[in-house]
Chains A and B, each alone.
Chain A
Amino acid sequence: GQSLEQPSEVTAVEGAIVQINCTYQTSGFYGLSWYQQHDGGAPTFLSYNGLDGLEETGRFSSFLSRSDSYGYLLLQELQMKDSASYFCAVRDQDNAGNMLTFGGGTRLMVKP
C-alpha cells in the first residue's frame, strides 16, 4: 500500500518563498509528481522527480530524496494566482508504476 503526508494548509505573503513538504511510504518507488489545482479547476501537472535532486521550472522547483522518502515543492516570488491546492503523487511498483496515488493536498493561501 501507499501513504503520503503533506500539510493541509499553508499561508504566505506575496513575494515570499514557500515550501510544501511531502513524505511517502510505498512498496516500491518510481517517482514523485506535483500537481496544482485551483478551486473549481482541474489538476495540472507541475513537475516530476524520478531521481534525487532538484528540478527547476521557472518560479517552481521540486526536490526528491529517495533515501528519506521525502520531497518538497518550492514556490518562489509568490503571486496571488499561486493560491491553489498542491498535490504530491507517487508512482510506485503496484501496477508497475502505471498509476499515481495522490496525497490529500496542501491548500496554499497567498495574501497581499
Chain B
Amino acid sequence: DARVTQTPRHKVTEMGQEVTMRCQPILGHNTVFWYRQTMMQGLELLAYFRNRAPLDDSGMPKDRFSAEMPDATLATLKIQPSEPRDSAVYFCASRQGANQPQHFGDGTRLSIL
C-alpha cells in the first residue's frame, strides 16, 4: 500500500536551532502539500508544489520557514531559527491530480523548547 513517508516522526529541540522535516510523496503524485496542525489553529496549509514548482506559500512565515522540492521524491520544510510557537504537528500530503484525494503522511511532531 503506497504511503507518504515523513521523517523524523518526533523532534524536540531548543529554540534558535534549525529544524528540517522531510517528506517522500507517493510515487506518481505530482502535487505535494505541507500543513501545520495545532489545537488553536487547526489544520493550516503552509505551502504546496505541483511538479516540484512552488505554487503557493502564502500560509508560511517567510522570515523563518522555507519549503523546497529538490526532486520528485523529496520535499523539505525548514525552520531557521525555530521558536516555541512553531511547536505543532507538521503533515505532508500528496495527490495525483486535482480531483484526487490528498494522502497524508503520519506527521512530524515538533516541540521547540
What is A's interface to B at a CB cutoff of 8 Å?
Answer: 33, 41-45, 48, 50, 87, 95-105
Contact = CB atoms under 8 A, between A and B. Distances in A.
B106 interface: yes
A104 B42 contact: yes
B91 A43 contact: yes
12 contacts: A42-B91, A42-B106, A43-B91, A43-B93, A96-B98, A98-B48, A99-B33, A99-B45, A99-B48, A100-B102, A103-B42, A104-B42
Interface SS of chain B: strand
A41 B106 contact: yes
Contacts of B98: 96-98
A104 B31 CA distance: 24
Interface residues of B, number: 20
A43 B101 contact: no
B53 interface: no
Interface of B: 31, 33, 42-43, 45, 48, 50, 55-56, 91, 93, 98-99, 101-107
Contact of A95 (B55, B99, B102, B105): B55
A95 B104 contact: no
Contacts of A33: 101
A42 B104 contact: yes
